[in-house]
Structure 1
Protein backbone atom coordinates (compact mmCIF):
# COMPACT_ATOMS: atom_id res chain seq x y z
CA UNK A 1 0.00 0.00 0.00
CA UNK A 2 2.84 2.42 0.90
CA UNK A 3 4.50 1.82 -2.48
CA UNK A 4 1.22 2.54 -4.23
CA UNK A 5 0.79 5.80 -2.27
CA UNK A 6 4.38 6.74 -3.06
CA UNK A 7 3.80 6.17 -6.77
CA UNK A 8 0.63 8.23 -6.63
CA UNK A 9 2.57 11.02 -4.92
CA UNK A 10 5.25 10.96 -7.64
CA UNK A 11 2.62 11.11 -10.38
CA UNK A 12 0.85 13.95 -8.58
CA UNK A 13 4.07 15.96 -8.31
CA UNK A 14 4.86 15.45 -12.00
CA UNK A 15 1.35 16.49 -13.01
CA UNK A 16 1.50 19.53 -10.77
CA UNK A 17 4.91 20.72 -12.03
CA UNK A 18 4.73 19.54 -15.66
CA UNK A 19 5.02 23.08 -16.97
CA UNK A 20 8.37 23.53 -15.23
CA UNK A 21 9.67 20.20 -16.57
CA UNK A 22 8.56 20.86 -20.15
CA UNK A 23 9.86 24.44 -20.07
CA UNK A 24 13.35 23.39 -18.98
CA UNK A 25 13.44 20.64 -21.62
CA UNK A 26 12.46 23.13 -24.35
CA UNK A 27 15.00 25.69 -23.13
CA UNK A 28 17.74 23.05 -23.12
CA UNK A 29 16.89 21.79 -26.61
CA UNK A 30 16.60 25.31 -28.04
CA UNK A 31 19.86 26.39 -26.43
CA UNK A 32 21.70 23.35 -27.79
CA UNK A 33 20.33 23.98 -31.29
CA UNK A 34 21.35 27.65 -31.28
CA UNK A 35 24.85 26.85 -30.00
CA UNK A 36 25.34 23.98 -32.48
CA UNK A 37 23.93 25.86 -35.46
CA UNK A 38 25.40 29.32 -34.94
CA UNK A 39 28.29 29.24 -32.45
CA UNK A 40 30.19 25.99 -33.00
CA UNK A 41 32.28 26.00 -36.20
CA UNK A 42 31.72 23.10 -38.64
CA UNK A 43 34.36 20.37 -38.77
CA UNK A 44 34.99 18.25 -41.88
CA UNK A 45 36.74 14.90 -42.18
CA UNK A 46 38.59 13.14 -44.99
CA UNK A 47 40.17 9.68 -44.99
CA UNK A 48 42.91 7.90 -46.88
CA UNK A 49 43.94 4.25 -46.71
CA UNK A 50 47.28 2.49 -46.66
CA UNK A 51 48.00 -1.21 -47.09
CA UNK A 52 50.92 -3.01 -45.51
CA UNK A 53 52.35 -5.80 -47.69
CA UNK A 54 55.42 -7.98 -47.59
CA UNK A 55 57.85 -6.60 -50.17
CA UNK A 56 59.04 -9.36 -52.49
CA UNK A 57 62.07 -9.20 -54.71
CA UNK A 58 60.29 -11.51 -57.13
CA UNK A 59 56.84 -9.99 -57.95
CA UNK A 60 55.59 -13.38 -59.14
CA UNK A 61 56.40 -15.13 -55.85
CA UNK A 62 53.43 -16.25 -53.76
CA UNK A 63 52.68 -14.59 -50.42
CA UNK A 64 53.28 -17.02 -47.57
CA UNK A 65 51.56 -17.17 -44.18
CA UNK A 66 54.79 -16.03 -42.54
CA UNK A 67 54.84 -12.95 -44.77
CA UNK A 68 51.27 -12.13 -43.81
CA UNK A 69 51.99 -12.51 -40.09
CA UNK A 70 55.04 -10.29 -40.44
CA UNK A 71 52.93 -7.56 -42.06
CA UNK A 72 50.25 -7.81 -39.37
CA UNK A 73 52.86 -7.58 -36.63
CA UNK A 74 53.98 -4.22 -38.01
CA UNK A 75 50.50 -2.65 -38.00
CA UNK A 76 50.55 -1.47 -34.37
CA UNK A 77 54.07 -0.13 -34.80
CA UNK A 78 53.05 1.74 -37.94
CA UNK A 79 50.09 3.32 -36.11
CA UNK A 80 52.50 4.90 -33.64
CA UNK A 81 54.98 5.94 -36.31
CA UNK A 82 52.21 7.66 -38.30
CA UNK A 83 51.59 10.23 -35.54
CA UNK A 84 55.19 10.50 -34.39
CA UNK A 85 56.88 13.94 -34.35
CA UNK A 86 59.21 12.88 -37.16
CA UNK A 87 56.33 12.29 -39.58
CA UNK A 88 54.12 15.17 -38.43
CA UNK A 89 56.93 17.74 -38.41
CA UNK A 90 57.73 16.80 -41.99
CA UNK A 91 54.05 17.16 -42.90
CA UNK A 92 53.91 20.63 -41.31
CA UNK A 93 57.00 21.76 -43.22
CA UNK A 94 55.93 20.32 -46.58
CA UNK A 95 52.35 21.59 -46.28
CA UNK A 96 53.32 24.90 -44.64
CA UNK A 97 50.68 24.32 -41.99
CA UNK A 98 50.09 26.83 -39.18
CA UNK A 99 50.02 24.04 -36.58
CA UNK A 100 52.33 22.58 -33.99
CA UNK A 101 52.99 18.85 -33.84
CA UNK A 102 50.61 18.52 -30.88
CA UNK A 103 47.83 20.42 -32.66
CA UNK A 104 48.21 18.36 -35.81
CA UNK A 105 48.22 15.11 -33.85
CA UNK A 106 44.81 16.00 -32.34
CA UNK A 107 43.37 16.31 -35.86
CA UNK A 108 44.48 12.83 -36.94
CA UNK A 109 42.83 9.49 -36.18
CA UNK A 110 44.51 6.22 -37.19
CA UNK A 111 42.27 3.15 -37.33
CA UNK A 112 42.81 -0.47 -38.27
CA UNK A 113 40.58 -3.50 -38.60
CA UNK A 114 41.57 -6.57 -36.62
CA UNK A 115 43.56 -9.07 -38.69
CA UNK A 116 43.60 -6.59 -41.59
CA UNK A 117 46.58 -5.07 -43.37
CA UNK A 118 44.72 -1.81 -44.10
CA UNK A 119 45.41 1.36 -42.12
CA UNK A 120 42.89 4.21 -42.31
CA UNK A 121 44.03 7.80 -41.70
CA UNK A 122 41.27 10.33 -40.95
CA UNK A 123 41.96 14.05 -40.63
CA UNK A 124 39.47 16.59 -39.22
CA UNK A 125 39.70 20.27 -40.09
CA UNK A 126 37.54 23.35 -40.47
CA UNK A 127 38.02 23.29 -44.26
CA UNK A 128 37.13 20.17 -46.29
CA UNK A 129 39.85 20.68 -48.92
CA UNK A 130 42.54 21.18 -46.30
CA UNK A 131 41.43 18.05 -44.43
CA UNK A 132 41.89 16.00 -47.62
CA UNK A 133 45.25 17.62 -48.40
CA UNK A 134 46.60 16.91 -44.91
CA UNK A 135 45.42 13.28 -45.01
CA UNK A 136 47.11 12.67 -48.37
CA UNK A 137 50.27 14.45 -47.22
CA UNK A 138 50.48 12.31 -44.08
CA UNK A 139 50.08 9.14 -46.17
CA UNK A 140 52.77 10.17 -48.68
CA UNK A 141 55.20 11.29 -45.99
CA UNK A 142 54.73 8.06 -44.06
CA UNK A 143 55.26 5.98 -47.21
CA UNK A 144 58.51 7.85 -47.92
CA UNK A 145 59.85 7.72 -44.36
CA UNK A 146 59.04 4.08 -43.51
CA UNK A 147 62.02 2.61 -45.46
CA UNK A 148 64.36 4.99 -43.62
CA UNK A 149 62.86 4.23 -40.21
CA UNK A 150 62.03 0.51 -40.44
CA UNK A 151 64.43 -0.53 -43.21
CA UNK A 152 61.51 -2.13 -45.05
CA UNK A 153 59.50 -0.87 -48.01
CA UNK A 154 56.09 -2.48 -47.67
CA UNK A 155 53.58 0.39 -47.54
CA UNK A 156 51.38 1.40 -50.45
CA UNK A 157 48.62 4.01 -50.72
CA UNK A 158 45.36 2.17 -51.27
CA UNK A 159 42.97 5.14 -51.61
CA UNK A 160 43.44 8.88 -51.84
CA UNK A 161 41.48 11.23 -49.59
CA UNK A 162 38.79 13.34 -51.24
CA UNK A 163 37.15 16.48 -49.79
CA UNK A 164 33.93 15.72 -47.93
CA UNK A 165 31.69 18.79 -47.77
CA UNK A 166 29.30 17.32 -45.21
CA UNK A 167 30.43 18.34 -41.70
CA UNK A 168 30.91 15.62 -39.10
CA UNK A 169 30.69 18.10 -36.20
CA UNK A 170 28.80 19.54 -34.47
CA UNK A 171 26.18 16.80 -34.26
CA UNK A 172 23.21 19.10 -33.93
CA UNK A 173 20.49 16.46 -33.56
CA UNK A 174 22.43 14.52 -30.92
CA UNK A 175 23.21 17.70 -29.01
CA UNK A 176 19.54 18.74 -29.05
CA UNK A 177 18.36 15.34 -27.80
CA UNK A 178 20.95 15.23 -25.01
CA UNK A 179 20.16 18.80 -23.94
CA UNK A 180 16.43 18.03 -23.87
CA UNK A 181 17.07 14.99 -21.67
CA UNK A 182 19.21 17.07 -19.33
CA UNK A 183 16.41 19.65 -19.21
CA UNK A 184 13.89 16.94 -18.35
CA UNK A 185 16.09 15.64 -15.55
CA UNK A 186 16.70 19.15 -14.22
CA UNK A 187 12.98 19.94 -14.38
CA UNK A 188 12.07 16.72 -12.58
CA UNK A 189 14.66 17.39 -9.88
CA UNK A 190 13.39 20.96 -9.54
CA UNK A 191 9.80 19.77 -9.28
CA UNK A 192 10.55 17.43 -6.38
CA UNK A 193 12.79 20.05 -4.74
CA UNK A 194 9.97 22.61 -4.81
CA UNK A 195 7.60 19.99 -3.48
CA UNK A 196 9.99 19.20 -0.62
CA UNK A 197 10.31 22.89 0.26
CA UNK A 198 6.54 23.38 0.23
CA UNK A 199 5.50 23.07 3.89
CA UNK A 200 1.74 23.50 3.35
CA UNK A 201 -0.73 20.68 3.86
CA UNK A 202 -1.82 19.14 0.58
CA UNK A 203 -4.86 17.20 1.81
CA UNK A 204 -6.74 16.17 4.93
CA UNK A 205 -4.80 12.92 5.28
CA UNK A 206 -1.57 14.89 5.83
CA UNK A 207 -3.26 16.88 8.61
CA UNK A 208 -4.32 13.68 10.36
CA UNK A 209 -0.91 12.06 9.91
CA UNK A 210 1.34 14.97 10.90
CA UNK A 211 -0.79 16.67 13.58
CA UNK A 212 -2.75 13.68 14.85
CA UNK A 213 -5.92 15.80 14.68
CA UNK A 214 -9.18 14.48 13.31
CA UNK A 215 -10.59 16.37 10.32
CA UNK A 216 -14.13 17.58 11.04
CA UNK A 217 -14.80 19.18 7.68
CA UNK A 218 -13.33 20.53 4.46
CA UNK A 219 -14.00 23.95 2.89
CA UNK A 220 -13.64 23.92 -0.86
CA UNK A 221 -11.68 26.64 -2.65
CA UNK A 222 -13.95 28.86 -4.72
CA UNK A 223 -12.88 30.75 -7.84
CA UNK A 224 -14.49 34.15 -7.15
CA UNK A 225 -13.83 35.51 -10.64
CA UNK A 226 -15.44 32.50 -12.26
CA UNK A 227 -18.39 32.84 -9.85
CA UNK A 228 -18.87 36.50 -10.78
CA UNK A 229 -18.87 35.57 -14.46
CA UNK A 230 -21.51 32.94 -13.77
CA UNK A 231 -23.69 35.49 -11.89
CA UNK A 232 -22.89 38.82 -13.61
CA UNK A 233 -25.97 40.73 -12.36
CA UNK A 234 -25.96 39.54 -8.78
CA UNK A 235 -24.19 41.07 -5.82
CA UNK A 236 -22.40 38.98 -3.23
CA UNK A 237 -25.39 39.09 -0.87
CA UNK A 238 -27.71 37.69 -3.53
CA UNK A 239 -25.39 34.87 -4.59
CA UNK A 240 -26.40 31.34 -3.65
CA UNK A 241 -25.08 30.35 -0.26
CA UNK A 242 -22.93 27.60 -1.71
CA UNK A 243 -20.98 30.03 -3.92
CA UNK A 244 -20.66 33.10 -1.67
CA UNK A 245 -16.95 33.76 -1.02
CA UNK A 246 -15.70 33.05 2.46
CA UNK A 247 -13.97 36.13 3.90
CA UNK A 248 -11.12 36.26 6.39
CA UNK A 249 -13.37 37.26 9.31
CA UNK A 250 -16.01 34.59 8.67
CA UNK A 251 -16.27 31.81 11.23
CA UNK A 252 -17.89 28.46 10.68
CA UNK A 253 -18.42 27.55 14.29
CA UNK A 254 -21.46 26.22 16.17
CA UNK A 255 -22.91 28.76 18.65
CA UNK A 256 -20.99 31.62 16.98
CA UNK A 257 -19.91 32.98 20.37
CA UNK A 258 -16.36 33.76 19.24
CA UNK A 259 -14.78 37.14 19.85
CA UNK A 260 -13.56 39.01 16.77
CA UNK A 261 -10.12 39.54 18.26
CA UNK A 262 -9.51 35.81 18.32
CA UNK A 263 -7.43 34.94 15.23
CA UNK A 264 -7.15 31.16 15.63
CA UNK A 265 -8.37 28.80 12.94
CA UNK A 266 -10.43 25.86 14.05
CA UNK A 267 -11.10 22.74 12.02
Structure 2
Protein backbone atom coordinates (compact mmCIF):
# COMPACT_ATOMS: atom_id res chain seq x y z
CA UNK A 1 0.00 0.00 0.00
CA UNK A 2 1.34 3.39 -0.94
CA UNK A 3 2.00 5.59 2.06
CA UNK A 4 -0.24 8.63 2.13
CA UNK A 5 1.63 11.92 2.49
CA UNK A 6 -0.24 14.96 3.75
CA UNK A 7 0.97 18.24 2.34
CA UNK A 8 1.07 21.54 4.22
CA UNK A 9 -1.66 22.89 2.00
CA UNK A 10 -3.94 20.03 3.03
CA UNK A 11 -3.18 20.69 6.70
CA UNK A 12 -3.99 24.39 6.33
CA UNK A 13 -7.13 23.53 4.40
CA UNK A 14 -8.30 21.14 7.13
CA UNK A 15 -7.70 23.77 9.82
CA UNK A 16 -9.41 26.45 7.72
CA UNK A 17 -12.44 24.22 7.17
CA UNK A 18 -12.93 23.50 10.87
CA UNK A 19 -11.51 26.66 12.47
CA UNK A 20 -14.79 27.34 14.28
CA UNK A 21 -14.50 24.01 16.11
CA UNK A 22 -10.90 24.80 17.08
CA UNK A 23 -11.86 28.23 18.45
CA UNK A 24 -14.91 26.85 20.26
CA UNK A 25 -13.05 24.02 22.01
CA UNK A 26 -10.10 26.25 22.94
CA UNK A 27 -12.31 29.02 24.33
CA UNK A 28 -14.47 26.53 26.23
CA UNK A 29 -11.45 24.95 27.92
CA UNK A 30 -10.02 28.39 28.76
CA UNK A 31 -13.31 29.69 30.18
CA UNK A 32 -13.89 26.58 32.28
CA UNK A 33 -10.38 26.84 33.72
CA UNK A 34 -10.90 30.52 34.50
CA UNK A 35 -14.23 29.89 36.25
CA UNK A 36 -12.76 27.05 38.31
CA UNK A 37 -9.65 29.05 39.25
CA UNK A 38 -11.48 32.27 40.20
CA UNK A 39 -14.81 31.09 41.60
CA UNK A 40 -14.75 27.37 42.48
CA UNK A 41 -11.34 26.34 43.82
CA UNK A 42 -10.65 27.73 47.28
CA UNK A 43 -7.38 29.67 47.54
CA UNK A 44 -4.66 28.16 49.71
CA UNK A 45 -2.21 30.33 51.65
CA UNK A 46 1.25 29.33 52.81
CA UNK A 47 3.46 30.87 55.46
CA UNK A 48 6.92 29.83 56.60
CA UNK A 49 9.58 30.37 59.21
CA UNK A 50 13.24 29.44 59.64
CA UNK A 51 14.99 28.40 62.85
CA UNK A 52 18.69 28.07 63.55
CA UNK A 53 20.03 25.10 65.50
CA UNK A 54 23.35 25.59 67.28
CA UNK A 55 25.16 25.84 70.60
CA UNK A 56 23.84 27.35 73.76
CA UNK A 57 24.70 31.05 73.86
CA UNK A 58 26.63 30.64 77.11
CA UNK A 59 28.81 27.90 75.62
CA UNK A 60 32.03 28.35 73.71
CA UNK A 61 31.10 30.27 70.59
CA UNK A 62 33.79 28.60 68.50
CA UNK A 63 32.75 25.86 66.07
CA UNK A 64 34.69 22.95 64.71
CA UNK A 65 33.77 20.47 61.99
CA UNK A 66 32.41 17.93 64.47
CA UNK A 67 30.11 20.53 66.01
CA UNK A 68 28.76 21.50 62.61
CA UNK A 69 28.19 17.87 61.62
CA UNK A 70 26.46 17.16 64.90
CA UNK A 71 24.00 20.03 64.55
CA UNK A 72 23.37 19.26 60.91
CA UNK A 73 22.48 15.69 61.87
CA UNK A 74 20.37 17.03 64.71
CA UNK A 75 18.19 18.81 62.15
CA UNK A 76 16.78 15.45 61.05
CA UNK A 77 15.83 14.62 64.63
CA UNK A 78 14.22 18.01 65.14
CA UNK A 79 12.33 17.69 61.84
CA UNK A 80 10.74 14.45 63.05
CA UNK A 81 10.05 15.94 66.48
CA UNK A 82 8.11 18.84 64.99
CA UNK A 83 5.81 16.52 63.03
CA UNK A 84 4.48 14.64 66.05
CA UNK A 85 0.89 14.58 67.23
CA UNK A 86 1.81 15.52 70.79
CA UNK A 87 3.78 18.63 69.84
CA UNK A 88 1.17 19.82 67.35
CA UNK A 89 -1.63 19.05 69.79
CA UNK A 90 -0.03 21.21 72.47
CA UNK A 91 0.60 23.98 69.95
CA UNK A 92 -3.03 24.28 68.81
CA UNK A 93 -4.67 23.73 72.18
CA UNK A 94 -5.12 27.47 72.74
CA UNK A 95 -6.26 28.42 69.26
CA UNK A 96 -9.89 29.26 68.55
CA UNK A 97 -10.36 27.91 65.04
CA UNK A 98 -13.22 25.58 64.18
CA UNK A 99 -12.46 22.05 62.97
CA UNK A 100 -8.76 22.39 63.67
CA UNK A 101 -7.48 18.83 64.07
CA UNK A 102 -3.98 17.53 64.64
CA UNK A 103 -4.17 15.05 61.76
CA UNK A 104 -5.14 17.73 59.24
CA UNK A 105 -2.38 20.06 60.43
CA UNK A 106 0.28 17.37 60.10
CA UNK A 107 -0.78 16.81 56.48
CA UNK A 108 -0.35 20.51 55.69
CA UNK A 109 2.85 20.97 57.70
CA UNK A 110 6.22 20.72 55.94
CA UNK A 111 9.62 20.63 57.65
CA UNK A 112 12.74 20.88 55.48
CA UNK A 113 16.28 20.71 56.85
CA UNK A 114 18.23 22.97 54.48
CA UNK A 115 21.15 20.99 53.11
CA UNK A 116 24.64 21.79 54.47
CA UNK A 117 23.26 24.31 56.98
CA UNK A 118 22.02 24.40 60.56
CA UNK A 119 18.67 25.82 59.51
CA UNK A 120 15.23 24.26 59.53
CA UNK A 121 12.53 25.66 57.26
CA UNK A 122 8.98 25.08 58.47
CA UNK A 123 5.96 25.70 56.24
CA UNK A 124 2.24 25.47 56.76
CA UNK A 125 -0.69 25.77 54.32
CA UNK A 126 -4.27 26.72 55.05
CA UNK A 127 -7.32 28.20 53.33
CA UNK A 128 -7.38 30.80 56.12
CA UNK A 129 -4.31 33.11 56.09
CA UNK A 130 -4.75 34.08 59.75
CA UNK A 131 -4.99 30.44 60.73
CA UNK A 132 -1.83 29.67 58.76
CA UNK A 133 0.11 32.33 60.64
CA UNK A 134 -1.23 31.48 64.11
CA UNK A 135 -0.80 27.72 63.73
CA UNK A 136 2.77 27.95 62.49
CA UNK A 137 3.70 30.53 65.14
CA UNK A 138 2.40 28.28 67.92
CA UNK A 139 4.08 25.20 66.46
CA UNK A 140 7.40 27.05 66.27
CA UNK A 141 7.12 28.30 69.84
CA UNK A 142 6.22 24.82 71.10
CA UNK A 143 9.08 23.30 69.14
CA UNK A 144 11.62 25.63 70.74
CA UNK A 145 10.40 24.55 74.19
CA UNK A 146 10.48 20.86 73.23
CA UNK A 147 13.93 21.17 71.66
CA UNK A 148 15.30 22.49 74.94
CA UNK A 149 14.03 19.39 76.71
CA UNK A 150 15.49 17.09 74.06
CA UNK A 151 18.94 18.72 73.93
CA UNK A 152 19.45 20.90 77.05
CA UNK A 153 22.70 22.47 75.81
CA UNK A 154 21.30 23.17 72.35
CA UNK A 155 20.10 26.53 71.11
CA UNK A 156 17.16 26.91 68.75
CA UNK A 157 16.19 30.41 67.72
CA UNK A 158 13.98 31.92 65.07
CA UNK A 159 15.86 33.72 62.31
CA UNK A 160 12.86 34.37 60.06
CA UNK A 161 9.57 35.29 61.70
CA UNK A 162 6.19 33.94 60.65
CA UNK A 163 4.31 36.47 58.52
CA UNK A 164 0.70 36.77 57.45
CA UNK A 165 0.48 35.47 53.87
CA UNK A 166 -1.07 38.02 51.53
CA UNK A 167 -1.25 36.10 48.25
CA UNK A 168 -2.43 32.49 47.83
CA UNK A 169 0.04 29.91 46.54
CA UNK A 170 -2.72 28.03 44.76
CA UNK A 171 -4.55 27.94 42.50
CA UNK A 172 -2.14 29.65 40.12
CA UNK A 173 -4.79 31.31 37.96
CA UNK A 174 -2.52 32.47 35.14
CA UNK A 175 -0.78 29.10 34.82
CA UNK A 176 -4.06 27.18 34.95
CA UNK A 177 -5.64 29.33 32.24
CA UNK A 178 -2.53 29.13 30.04
CA UNK A 179 -2.41 25.34 30.37
CA UNK A 180 -6.14 25.05 29.60
CA UNK A 181 -5.70 27.22 26.51
CA UNK A 182 -2.82 25.10 25.20
CA UNK A 183 -4.59 21.83 25.98
CA UNK A 184 -7.77 23.04 24.32
CA UNK A 185 -5.81 24.12 21.26
CA UNK A 186 -3.94 20.81 21.00
CA UNK A 187 -7.08 18.72 21.54
CA UNK A 188 -9.08 20.69 18.97
CA UNK A 189 -6.34 20.55 16.33
CA UNK A 190 -5.85 16.85 17.01
CA UNK A 191 -9.58 16.30 16.61
CA UNK A 192 -9.51 18.14 13.28
CA UNK A 193 -6.76 15.86 12.00
CA UNK A 194 -8.64 12.79 13.26
CA UNK A 195 -11.78 13.83 11.44
CA UNK A 196 -9.77 14.44 8.29
CA UNK A 197 -8.18 11.01 8.61
CA UNK A 198 -11.58 9.33 9.01
CA UNK A 199 -13.02 11.27 6.08
CA UNK A 200 -12.49 8.98 3.06
CA UNK A 201 -14.25 11.17 0.52
CA UNK A 202 -12.38 12.68 -2.42
CA UNK A 203 -11.84 16.40 -2.27
CA UNK A 204 -10.51 17.01 -5.77
CA UNK A 205 -9.76 15.23 -9.04
CA UNK A 206 -6.05 14.92 -8.26
CA UNK A 207 -6.78 12.56 -5.36
CA UNK A 208 -9.13 10.51 -7.53
CA UNK A 209 -6.60 10.19 -10.38
CA UNK A 210 -3.83 9.28 -7.93
CA UNK A 211 -5.80 6.48 -6.27
CA UNK A 212 -7.51 5.03 -9.38
CA UNK A 213 -4.66 5.60 -11.81
CA UNK A 214 -6.96 6.89 -14.56
CA UNK A 215 -7.57 10.43 -15.77
CA UNK A 216 -10.73 12.32 -14.93
CA UNK A 217 -12.61 13.15 -18.11
CA UNK A 218 -15.04 15.64 -16.66
CA UNK A 219 -16.56 17.11 -13.53
CA UNK A 220 -20.08 18.14 -12.55
CA UNK A 221 -20.00 21.76 -11.39
CA UNK A 222 -21.86 23.04 -8.34
CA UNK A 223 -24.93 24.94 -9.45
CA UNK A 224 -27.03 27.11 -7.17
CA UNK A 225 -30.69 26.56 -7.94
CA UNK A 226 -32.83 29.58 -7.20
TM-score range, shorter chain: 0.7 to 0.9
- Whether 1:173 and 2:167 are equivalent positions in the alignment is no
- Paired with 1:66 and 1:105, the residues of 2 have a C-alpha distance of 32
> 1:25-36 alignment to 2 at 5 Å?
25-36=26-37
1:168 shift after superposition: 1.8
- Residue by residue over 1:8-54, the C-alpha shift from the partner in whole angstroms, topping out at 9 and shown as x without a partner, is 43333223222212221111111111111111112222111111113
- Whether 1:82 and 2:79 are equivalent positions in the alignment is no
Match of 1:197 in 2: 198
1:150 shift after superposition: 5.0
The number of equivalent residue pairs is: 223
1:166 shift after superposition: 1.7
Gaps of 5+ in 2: none
Task: Classify the secondary structure of the residue corresponding to 1:180.
Answer: helix
Q: Is the 8 A contact 2:53 2:154 kept in 1?
A: no
- Paired with 2:56 and 2:214, the residues of 1 have a C-alpha distance of 94
> 1:1-267 alignment to 2 at 5 Å?
5-55=6-56, 57-58=58-59, 60-95=60-95, 98-149=99-150, 153-222=154-223, 224=224
Question: Greater CA deviation, 117-126 or 211-220?
Answer: 211-220
Backbone CA RMSD of aligned residues: 2.5
Q: Is the 8 A contact 2:92 2:139 kept in 1?
A: no
- Paired with 1:76 and 1:9, the residues of 2 have a C-alpha distance of 62
Distance 1:109 1:132, change over 3 A: same
Q: Is the 8 A contact 1:54 1:70 kept in 2?
A: no
- Paired with 2:156 and 2:211, the residues of 1 have a C-alpha distance of 80
Q: Is the 8 A contact 1:107 1:123 kept in 2?
A: yes
Question: Greater CA deviation, 171-180 or 201-210?
Answer: 201-210
Q: Is the 8 A contact 1:54 1:68 kept in 2?
A: no
Q: TM-score, normalized by length of structure 1? A: 0.74
Larger Rg: 1
Q: Relative contact order: is structure 1 or structure 2 higher (C-alpha 8 Å, sep ≥ 6)? A: 2
Match of 1:237 in 2: none
Distance 1:16 1:77, change over 3 A: farther
Q: Is the 8 A contact 2:44 2:128 kept in 1?
A: yes
